[in-house]
Amino acid sequence: MSNNLVIVESPAKAKTIKKYLGKNYEVIASQGHVRDLPKSKMGVDIENDYEPQYITIRGKGDLVASLKKAAKKADMVYLATDPDREGEAISYHLAIALKLEEGKFKRITFNEITKKAVKESIKNARPIDMDLVNAQQARRVLDRLVGYEISPLLWDKVKRGLSAGRVQSATLKMIVDREEEISRFVPREYWTLDIDLTDESGKKKGTFHYSEELPDEESTDKVINGTNTDGLKVSDVKETSRTRKAPLPFTTSTMQQTASRKLNFTTAKVMRIAQALYESGYITYLRTDSTRISDEADAAAKAYIKEKYGEEFVAEKEAAASNGKKIQDAHEAIRPTDVEETPEKLKAKLSRDEFRLYQLIYTRFLASRMKGAKFLNVQVTVSDGKENFKATTSKIVFKGYLSVYNADDNENEEKNALAEKLAKGDKLKFVSFDKKQHFTAPPAHFTEALLVKTMEENGIGRPSTYAPTISTLQGRRYVIKEDKNLYITDLGEAVNGIMEKAFPEIIDVEFTANMEMLLDSIGDGDIEWKTVIRNFYPDLENQVQKAGKVLENVKIADEVSDTECEECGRMMVIKYGPHGKFLACPGFPECRNTKPYFEKIGVDCPKCGQDIVVKKTKKGRRFYGCISQECDYMSWQKPKNE
């Protein structure tokens, strides 16, 4: 009887796969990468044609030894890491670290962790795809060269602890450019004019809008004074039908955007929860920019829709994305692995946040297999013979996909329904005018969702990099988040200023997007990976040397807190360490006083009257407690003063 070893990344994934395989299979987790470039040095041998110098990751020696031991006992080792470049690279490094012999290991991939998919993958086991490995290796080396060449320059010119990155710095520039666009924006005045009308019996017939935008109050008053309010009647009624297409199933980007808007999740939280759902076998692989769905899943969804909602709700053909960009179509879109596993059935098995995200993924997928929603639009024009006022009513005549999924909370509301019941020639009575002054709004500040959308549109990064890039920018304090909006900090502006002056190519959006396309070409086997590095590095090296000579030092002042140092009386400043913010005395090194930093929420402790602050448990869960060490007040829910 054969003895097989399956190696995956995470213990949760191992547990799920173990359920589907017999006792002839042992399933062990590598807990991610086991080999990487060293942190203490560049780790790329520039003199030896950019050869990467991999080492076993610190702290993983015992794990590698136990994996080696298990591999020696096995007749066949199946490397079952994630089905993307990163997963391919982890499998490659596992094969080297465990010294697996040719013919004694195979690579298996599955887009979903189900019994059928896992067993099918073993039947279709294959060698490691070195083109994908090299694409990941090229990305890793490029990012290492950029980070380890430029970061020391930032330490020297600004302050220690800063970093630059290929995708990170291009994204930072996008945020800076947006902030500058907002600050340069000059609002334009305009006015709108509405008129409220009733029928001759005094029954309200709706609010009608003047047909043109007006430039100023004088023009608005001219329309008001020139309108014959005694001679208003319906001059035209137009009926049109329209169909709102069903949404496409989720990609990584659209899932992050929608979960941010509807569930108020950060991009990092979306990916963390989606990873848990994937590893538990509930959804397909979460890193994808494809909207494709397998024939089998498509048929199962349509059969379910036919049974539950009726034949008339089933989509006749599949919707398709058309953005003209290259799609990495190795994976399907994100969908439930089994359409029969409704959110209601799984609610008891999932945490609250897992349930909410699963419900979003499930309903979006189901909606994508349904017909569009049909609306009847009726536009009514009221005129005095000279001035025109219009109102449009929108009425759903067939709900279609709106039966299960609402992209926007007000999407299926019927609007201004009163105007619908009017006919040409009907006379109307004037009630009142309502004139309003408006100003054009500047471009919106980036939110995490909008930033992901813009990164995708510009080809910056890939599905796996959106959330980590945004987390890094916030972690480095280049941007801060307030009320969902991302704002650039003084530190972020200083770093971007240096990058713009010394490394304009690296932060250029088009250059970064082209580099992503080159990485795709390596993955397709069209370009040798070191060719990309050879063409890139000499220019980078020259720019770094030049920047070191011409750039001036930038001083960024620490943020001053409202806490006085009890040892010397100075006002303490907010510093950042590996575990987040802390307070330190600005008198260092004479005064070395430090203390924890607590974020005040503007609420007094109900027990002792001091400040309530945000705290964290050892496992990182937020709670609210009194700032006083002597007071034991705490709450999981955010307290209020009332």
pLDDT at 72 over 90: yes
Query: Is residue 454 pLDDT above 70, yes or no?
Result: yes
pLDDT value, residue 208: 95
Beta strand 4-8 with 76-79 is parallel
Selecting among 282, 285, 362, 478, the annotated active-site residue is 285
Q: Using pLDDT thresholds of 50, 70 and 90, give the confidence band for residue 326.
A: very low
pLDDT at site 329: 46
Compare 409 and 503 and report the one with higher pLDDT. Answer: 503
Which residues, 6 or more positions from 184, have their beta carbon under 8 angstroms from its beta carbon? none
Mean pLDDT of 512-526: 95
As a whole number, mean pLDDT of residues 399-405 equals: 95
Mark whether 285 is an active-site residue: yes
The predicted pLDDT at position 263 comes to 95
Nearest to 338 by CA among 521, 492, 113: 113
Whole-angstrom Cα distance, residue 524 to residue 138? 13
**Average pLDDT score, the chain:** 91
Q: Mean pLDDT throughout 421-442?
A: 94
pLDDT band for 418, please (50, 70, 90 cuts): low
Question: Given this model, what pLDDT does residue 328 score?
Answer: 45
| Structural tokens at position 161 | 């602890």
At 11 the pLDDT is: 94
Which residues face 488 on adjacent strands? 479
Spatial distance between the Cα atoms of 561 and 594, rounded to a whole number of angstroms = 12
Give me the percent of the chain exceeding a pLDDT of 70. 94
Q: How far apart are CA 406 and CA 429, in angstroms?
A: 38
Q: If you average pLDDT over residues 277-306, what whole number do you get?
A: 95
pLDDT digits (tens, 9 = 90+) for 597-606: 888 888 999 8
Give the start-end residues of each E strand in 203-317. 204-210, 233-244
Q: Pinpoint the alpha helices (H) of 280-420.
A: 295-308, 343-346, 352-368
Look at 630 and 309; give whichever has higher pLDDT: 309
User: Residue 638: its pLDDT value, please?
Assistant: 82
**Is the pLDDT higher at 630 or at 580?**
630
Please state the rounded mean pLDDT for residues 605-621. Answer: 81
* More confident position, 106 or 558: 106
The average pLDDT across 616-629 equals 78
Q: What is the DSSP letter of 427?
A: B
- Angle 201-205-210 (CA atoms, 0-180°, nearest 5)? 130
Query: Considering only CA atoms, which of 607, 353, 561, 574 is closest in space to residue 624?
Result: 607
CA–CA distances in Å: residue 171 to residues 40, 218, 219, 448: 26, 45, 44, 12
> What percent of the chain stands above pLDDT 90?
76
DSSP class per residue in 153-197 = HHHHHT-TT----HHHHHHHHHHHHHHHHHHH----EEEEEEEEE
What's the confidence (pLDDT) of residue 150? 94
Position 224 pLDDT exceeds 60: yes
Whole-angstrom distance, CA of residue 501 vs CA of residue 169: 13
Give the separation between CA 138 and CA 135, rounded to whole angstroms.
Answer: 5
DSSP 477: T
